[in-house]
Amino acid sequence: MANKFFYFCVTLLFLFSISANAAKDGRALAQRVYDRPDGKDSVVAGRMILREPGHKPRNRKTYSFTLDLGNGEVMSLVRFVEPADVNGLGLLTHNYKGDKSDQWLYLPELGKTRRIPSKRKGGRFVGSDLYYEDLRDREVSMDTHKILGTDKVKGLECTLLESIPIDKKNSVYSKRVSCINLQSLLPLRIETYEKGRPSKVFEALKIEKIQSIWTITDQRITDLESKHETRLIADKVLYNQGLEPSLFARQVLEDPVRDESFRPE
Amino acid sequence: MKVNHCWISGTAIRNILFLSMLFLFSIVHTSEAEEIAATLRIAGFETYTDAAKAVRDLRSSGIPGRVMAESDRQSFYVEIGRYHRSIDLFRMQRKLREKGYHNLEMRIADRPPLRARLIKDWGEIDDSLKMSSEEFATGRKVAKDEPDQLLLVEDDPSTSSETIRNTDTKAKKEYGIKLSNAAVEVGVPFQNIPRASTINYLRGEALAFRQFGRWEITLSGRFDAHLQTGTRGYTDAKLDYGESFLRYRGPSYSLTIGAQKVMWGRLDFLPPNDLLSTRDFSRIVADELRDQRRPSFAIRLENFLGSFKLDTLVIPFFRSAVVPELGSAWSPIDRYSGRVLTGPNNPLMNEIARQGQIEDHDSGFGGAGIRLSHIGDGFDYGMTLQRGRHSLPHYEINHSLLAATFSGVDPALSVASIREPAMIGLHPLTWSLGADAGFSVADGVLRIEAAWLSDVPVTRADNFLMETVQSFNWGVGYEFYPGDANLRMNVQLMNRFLNLGEFEVMEDEMVWVINGEIENIHARNRWRERLRFNIGVAPYDLYLNPEVAYIGLENNEFFVGMRIFEGDIGTLGHAFDDHDLITAGWRLRY
């Protein structure tokens, strides 16, 4: 009887230790991905292509600027260039540590800057497969992480990382399963779940080393239900350009000409 | 015979003891003050500015540092200091890592440079310190034959990516000419409208601009055509200037001189602090918000002081609102029936409406204002002081006409015989002091705004003369997304209170209005349903504008909608009660 109890305890301890290790390793991997060097600042000339069976593709062109001030404080400015009816539209975001952020939209046709609800998570960003939540920084501590194993994406090895929100209210997704390439510390694929059901797949199509920083320069997001696709292409990426916080001020948001000199040719 | 009931074996105990010893040894080992001679630096800064910023940041935490250039002069590093004890070195490394500096580089005397990056979150220091510059920058092992690109799919030429490593920081010179705005709308009344069987509208706006350095010049013009069919046909076509200005951009300011639209205030619909802009009332409220203003000649200086903005505006020459021409279905004066749709109806007013000359006094000094506003830290706010004129006219009856009427002369005769305008549109100057704020509440944004005005024109009930009274206008609006999806609601509650004193006036002393917009965009931004509404609670005044639009073709909107009016006597809703329309049309914006 004592022997049986001994084996039972050992098995429990073993299972517990595996589970604890998976969680610990999962969090450590998530932290490494989060801490992955991505420059103090970045400038991206990007395109968004929306594709849907039976419809003509639609294009959006943007320039985005990001500055990491450290301590969880990140500033970003997205300037829309195309289509013409949104030319000059600007989205300024100041992310603070935790779930706090300020967000303003500049409407050139009205010449007005409007604060917009920064806690918005759902809703499709300019008709794409991205939710507003996908555009925002998500800290490691907001999810529980677990390593599920390994997989291969297009011949590249990756580690499966499951992330589940600790507070269900702060995410549209009930679960995300990412396949992290340990070489670049970038996700090659992310499967998202909503209310327990698979909803979208993010796939990295091209990863480039730019200024010694691994960067996804082409990715595809597919809505599993509608088969609608969003292709995100970074045409030009620049890191560590010495961007100043003044670029992320209202003066620039309200005057698109002022960020033109920072846009890559 | 059992000698031991413990279910942990002796081997296990020995293993635990061994691991404990190893753990203690590792603690002692890492605590040992090993004698070394090393320098520590934060490397990898591509610009001097970045390195200097890091030094400033470090010094604020009491950590010394200085900017040094690498021997190849292509990059910079921050030298932290020299260390003779490994424990001091590791402590400083940890301190730097906690501050977010990961690109640490150690140089130990008489050894090749070692590069290190602390990558373990729980504070351990990676033993394998030997890294290439690549590894140092990226924090991972790099194989010698590692490629610069991981191509996961066949390259698609249409989406190829070119990596660049520098940028041209010179301002781009741009110029161009374009059709910036166009609209066509066909309106069919679905009631037995006495004035028109269709109400149609066409607009086009072209713009030319050129930038040269800090200067920009913009010229634009517009064309508006109104075509009304039916028993009372009406056609009108007009050319007008659009925003046309010269702008100079200084380091922290912008100076703009010329015709421009400036709309102050925070609320989206009828903000109380929007005094100095020129309203486009030619189709009452049928246009999009962006098209409900016309430019007026002004000098504007925008100063940016951190997160503050000081906006100064001077309008040397007043420009009155663009109002519907007499004969247009949107005119509040019905020439045919002799009714004044938004004012009192008596024999004199009816005669003026039927045959009187109506003129707008739109000359004089336009006004000036100053607005200080701030955004950030979760709370946006602004304060505005203005001296200006309401662009919408307040109509006053000619004094001699009034005198003749009060003395018993037949209104038809007196109106027919007078050579001066029978009714004049006035725009008295007023002071306006206001404040507004916007901040997040729950999952939405709350906007509040208030303004006190010193001189708002009213019409006395006893003698029909114009007086000016003080007014307090305020509003509160909430914008949110029910269900956190694509449905957006923006609802405002507005109030205007007139401080009338002892005399009675034709206007309502207190006006309450609920207005706003409900919008749902679906099918991947291809379709939009929208309801614009303005509901006067007291007095009752209803305007509803439901609309379905196809917006899937970039820059274009094809829409079908309705405009529904209803209200108490004297309100716009009552004036256009028989103008309920089914509308269809197209809008273009470039």
Which of B50, B155, B252 lies nearest to residue A251, judging by beta carbons?
B252
**3-class SS of residue B18:** helix
Which of B302, B438, B484 lies nearest to residue A115, judging by beta carbons?
B438
Nearest residue of chain A to residue B557 (CA atoms): A85
Buried-exposed string B134-153: b where 16+ CB fall within 10 A, e elsewhere: bbbbbbbebeeeeeeebebe
Q: Does B140 touch chain A (CB under 8 A)?
A: yes
Look over chain A and give the mean of its residue pLDDT values, rounded to a whole number.
88
Question: Mean of the pLDDT values across residues B320-338?
Answer: 85
The 8-class DSSP code of residue A196 comes to T
Closest-CA distance, B524 to chain A, in angstroms, reads 4
pLDDT band at residue B516, thresholds of 50, 70 and 90? very high
Which of A50, A249, A264 lies nearest to residue B167, judging by beta carbons?
A264
> What pLDDT does residue B320 have?
95
Closest-CA distance, A199 to chain B, in angstroms, reads 15
Closest-CA distance, B188 to chain A, in angstroms, reads 28
Asked if omega into B539 is within 30° of 0 (cis), the reply is yes
> Hey, which residues 450-509 in chain B have their CB within 8 Å of chain A?
479-481, 483-486
Asked if the Cβ–Cβ distance from B122 to A28 is below 8 Å, we say yes
Q: What is the pLDDT of residues A29-87, one digit of tens each?
A: 999 999 888 889 999 999 999 998 888 888 999 999 999 998 888 999 999 998 888 89
Q: Does B169 touch chain A (CB under 8 A)?
A: yes
> What pLDDT does residue B298 have?
98
Q: Answer yes or no: is pLDDT of B118 > 60.
A: no
Closest-CA distance, A236 to chain B, in angstroms, reads 6
DSSP state string for B74-129: S-EEEEEEEEEEHHHHHHHHHHHHHTT---EEEEETTS--EEE----TTSPPPS--
The residues spanned by each domain of chain B are 29-138
Maximum separation of any 2 CA atoms in chain B, in Å = 135
Which of B103, B252, B443 lies nearest to residue A117, judging by beta carbons?
B443
Angle between helices B347-355 and B399-406 (to 10 degrees): 140
**3-class SS of residue B586:** strand
CATH classification at residue A80:
2.50.20.10
Task: Check residues B208 and B190 and name the one with the higher pLDDT.
Answer: B208
Nearest residue of chain A to residue B443 (CA atoms): A119
Closest-CA distance, A176 to chain B, in angstroms, reads 19
Task: Quote ipTM for the complex.
Answer: 0.84
Q: What is the pLDDT of residues B143-168, one digit of tens each?
A: 545 556 665 554 443 433 333 233 33
Nearest residue of chain A to residue B181 (CA atoms): A85
> Hey, which residues 434-453 in chain B have their CB within 8 Å of chain A?
438-440, 443-445, 447
Which of A27, A153, A214 lies nearest to residue B152, judging by beta carbons?
A153
> What pLDDT does residue A19 have?
57
Question: Does A22 fall in a domain?
Answer: no
Task: Check residues B333 and B390 and name the one with the higher pLDDT.
Answer: B390
Q: Which residues of B touch A262 (CB under 8 A)?
A: 167, 169
Q: Does B84 touch chain A (CB under 8 A)?
A: no
Six token digits for residue B164: 């660049």
Q: What is the pLDDT of residues A175-194, one digit of tens each?
A: 999 999 998 899 999 999 99
Question: Does A18 fall in a domain?
Answer: no
Asked if the Cβ–Cβ distance from B155 to A206 is below 8 Å, we say yes
Question: Mean of the pLDDT values across residues B271-285?
Answer: 94
Domain that holds residue A111: 33-260
Asked if the Cβ–Cβ distance from B103 to A208 is below 8 Å, we say no
Amino acid symbol at B504: E
d(CA B573, CA B334): 15
Question: Does A82 fall in a domain?
Answer: yes
Q: Which residues of A touch B445 (CB under 8 A)?
A: 114-117
Closest-CA distance, B571 to chain A, in angstroms, reads 27
Closest-CA distance, B260 to chain A, in angstroms, reads 10
Q: What is the pLDDT of residues B350-366, one digit of tens each?
A: 888 888 888 998 889 99
Closest-CA distance, A192 to chain B, in angstroms, reads 17
Question: Does A10 fall in a domain?
Answer: no
Q: Does B159 touch chain A (CB under 8 A)?
A: yes
Q: What is the pLDDT of residues B64-75, one digit of tens each?
A: 787 776 655 457
What share of chain A has pLDDT > 70, as a percent? 91
Asked if the Cβ–Cβ distance from A32 to B119 is below 8 Å, we say yes
> What pLDDT does residue B137 have?
38
Q: Indicate the range of A5-9, A129-133, B327-331 predicted with least confidence.
A: A5-9
Which of B146, B254, B307 lies nearest to residue A255, judging by beta carbons?
B254
Which of A36, A120, A203 lies nearest to residue B484, judging by beta carbons?
A120
Phi-psi region of A98 (alpha: psi -120 to 50; beta: other; left: phi over 0): left
Q: Which residues of A touch B148 (CB under 8 A)?
A: 208-209
Residue that has been written with the tokens 């074996």 in this structure: B9
CB proximity list for B453: less than 8 A, separation 6 or greater: B275, B430, B431, B432, B470, B471, B472, B473
> What pLDDT does residue B506 have?
87
Q: Answer yes or no: is pLDDT of B5 > 80.
A: no
Q: Which residues of B touch A12 (CB under 8 A)?
A: none
Mutation for testing the A interface, residue in B519, B524, B587 having most A CBs under 10 Å:
B524
Q: What is the pLDDT of residues A138-156, one digit of tens each?
A: 889 999 999 999 999 888 8
> What pLDDT does residue A18 have?
53
Q: Answer yes or no: is pLDDT of A205 > 80.
A: yes
Residue that has been written with the tokens 């549209």 in this structure: A172
> What pLDDT does residue A4 have?
57
> What pLDDT does residue A14 have?
56
Closest-CA distance, B375 to chain A, in angstroms, reads 8
Asked if the Cβ–Cβ distance from B161 to A249 is below 8 Å, we say no
Total domains, chain A: 1
Question: Does A136 fall in a domain?
Answer: yes
Mutation for testing the A interface, residue in B67, B74, B133, B152 having most A CBs under 10 Å:
B152
Mutation for testing the A interface, residue in B124, B158, B159, B377 having most A CBs under 10 Å:
B159
pLDDT band at residue A136, thresholds of 50, 70 and 90? confident
Helix (H), strand (E) at residue A252: helix A250-253
In order of A45, A201, B327, B485, the CA distances from A221 in angstroms are 19, 6, 56, 18
Show the 3-state SS of B534-546. Answer: EEEEECCEEEEEE
Which of A126, A188, A254 lies nearest to residue B152, judging by beta carbons?
A188
Asked if the Cβ–Cβ distance from A122 to B485 is below 8 Å, we say yes
Best mean pLDDT range from A53-57, A105-109, B172-176: A105-109
What share of chain B has pLDDT > 90, as a percent? 44
Q: Which stretches within B364-418 are classed as H helix? A: 399-406, 411-417
> What pLDDT does residue B123 have?
28
> What pLDDT does residue B16 have?
52
Closest-CA distance, B418 to chain A, in angstroms, reads 44
Which of A111, A204, A211 lies nearest to residue B263, judging by beta carbons?
A111
Nearest residue of chain A to residue B525 (CA atoms): A127
Q: Indicate the range of A144-148, B119-123, B238-242 predicted with least confidence.
A: B119-123
Asked if the Cβ–Cβ distance from B525 to A127 is below 8 Å, we say yes
pLDDT band at residue B25, thresholds of 50, 70 and 90? very low
Q: Does B74 touch chain A (CB under 8 A)?
A: no
Q: What is the pLDDT of residues B382-396, one digit of tens each?
A: 999 999 999 999 988
> Hey, which residues 306-365 in chain B have their CB within 8 Å of chain A?
306-307, 309
Question: Does A9 fall in a domain?
Answer: no
* B195, B230 Cβ separation under 8 angstroms: yes
Q: Which residues of B touch A264 (CB under 8 A)?
A: 164, 167
Asked if the Cβ–Cβ distance from A119 to B443 is below 8 Å, we say yes
Helix (H), strand (E) at residue A24: helix A2-35
pLDDT band at residue B532, thresholds of 50, 70 and 90? very high
d(CA B326, CA B343): 15
